[in-house]
Structure 1
Amino acid sequence: MPITIKDVAEHAGVSVSTVSKVLNDWKTISQSTKDKVNNSIKELNYTPNSRAVSFARGNTRNIIYLTSLSKDEAYTNPHMFDIMCGVFTRLASGGYTMTLMDISDDIHPKETVAGIIARKSADGIVIHGSVINEDIANLIISNSFPHIVIGHPDFNERLCWVDTNHLLAGQYAAEYLSQRDVSPVSFIGGKRTEFISHERERGFRTIMLKYHKKIPPEYVIHTSSTWEEGYAAAKKLLSMKEAPKAIVCENNTLAVGAAKAISEMGLKVPDDIFFLTFDIYPYTTIIDPKPTIININVYDMGLQAADMIIRKIDNPSLMIQSYTTLPEIVES
């Protein structure tokens, strides 16, 4: 049987708490008690584990990653897993563990978070933006619990968050086309109410306007982001009297449909038309013809989120609200 901290405490004639405090070099423990405990550790050949060392510090060296892991989540939200891997990698290098917690089936997710805080089962929490709500936000803020939200929440300005700059990504797409003097251009987006789509379109329009390249209303089509609607939108655009010289799709799913339309019409990319989309995942490796991609390294965003939660633990009063990771152009 392996020697435990309890065995050391009994051998030294002290409490488990005292052993833990000696392991953490508490200044309030007398030298004689330290010597007694250290002698027992040596005699019993005890190797302290991370939980024992953390006991008296009042920390766990554990971070909760709170998210939704419902069926087909890997297909509907593939970026989450790259972010999660980045968070895990950086936490591990800093001596932290990460506990993945799924609240997709929770009727009262606030109670789950309240339990984490009450039991002190983690030093902090990384919350995927898909599961944050005002109840959870108010709870972690009122308890001053270290946290980082992945994604910019549209409520509660006191939350700490990290996000990618979708407006900047749209600007990158427009700069790419403007530098090549492409005109007219078109944009196939998601619903007008979708934040990411709206920001990418807004960034795109801003730069096109900067170069005095207005985008007529008929060259912008909003959809529900299905590949079928991407196909129909591209067919409509390419059948216009003055067809666009570029199609920009706000997401991969729309790009799948647009690629089918481009291929059916016998157009070559980029000779006949420029074809752009955002993010490498999930479909750009199989889309034909291949689009130019405005990609954001979300794995890197996970690394940075982990750095920030560790900083937040060290300094609970620190306010962190940051856009991270610049877009990069991946040409076809």
Structure 2
Amino acid sequence: MASSSSSSFSIITFSVFLVLVGMASAQLSSTYYSSSCPNALSTIKSAVNSAVSSESRMGASLLRLHFHDCFVKGCDGSILLDDTSTFTGEKTANPNSNSLRGFDVIDTIKSQVETLCPGVVSCADIVVVAARDSVVALGGPSWTVQLGRRDSTTASLSKANTNIPAPTLNLSGLITAFSNKGFTAKEMVALSGSHTIGQARCTNFRARIYNESSIETSFASSLKSNCPSTGNDNNLSPLDTTSPTSFDNAYFKDLVSKKGLLHSDQQLYSGGSTDSQVTTYSTSSSTFLTDFANAMVKMGNLSPLTGTSGQIRTNCRKTN
């Protein structure tokens, strides 16, 4: 009897959770700023285009900033908060420390929209829109971003250390990490396609190029000159060796050729359940781009703060 009551309570609790999530998502709108700050989106787009034009790598950095924000407590801008003497943010977490970039671009955008519409546009929304505009700037697909998120006043170093998938994960670990955030294995593969742009540090792929057999020999050799067996941890190599500054499906072609840079990359094409999806994306750019855009919409809707939750930060690096 107790077990039955417990099960009923769990079902009710889960139902309430789904309703609350639905309510939060329903409060987001693609036209959220159309009256309160009509030039917000064009301002963000212009700033992103300028930043990516100056340094193409910034596009990947802004996209990654979005991912690392949303996978910890949801898309709430918590990744932007600096540490203080009384507050520990997420920037020093293992996946973020000496790795995440683009904070200065977000600061610039925030300053510009604050001049236009003080206290209206959230840092969380800026991160989500900047990610979309970065992909477009590098030749990738566009998608409609839902808006109206508010900014978190808290952060979680521990969740940043545990929720963000590590480059050392095997396929099962990747599937679990994304499933924990509500993504299917197919969506996980599509989102992994973000590695068609950007670079990785030697420390994150050294073990693969020196120890693994599931890597094309000449590809591994070409990487060793820039990533010796010891030292030079921060030397960079492109995640997509074919077209590292174009948002296309070359990443998946690389995987089929055993030229995935990270261990977690090549796991998507390693004789496992996602091989067929990688093959599909490697032969159909349009399928990948469509699936990626749809998955990004879903990611942008992870646990947003809406209504009276959180705040609209004046400075993205600190609470009001």
Give TM-score, length-normalised by structure 2. Answer: 0.28
Structure in which a larger fraction of residues adopt strand: 1
Q: Tell which has more relative contact order, 1 or 2 (C-alpha 8 A, sep 6+).
A: 2
Larger Rg: 1
Give TM-score, length-normalised by structure 1. Answer: 0.27
Structure in which a larger fraction of residues adopt helix: 2
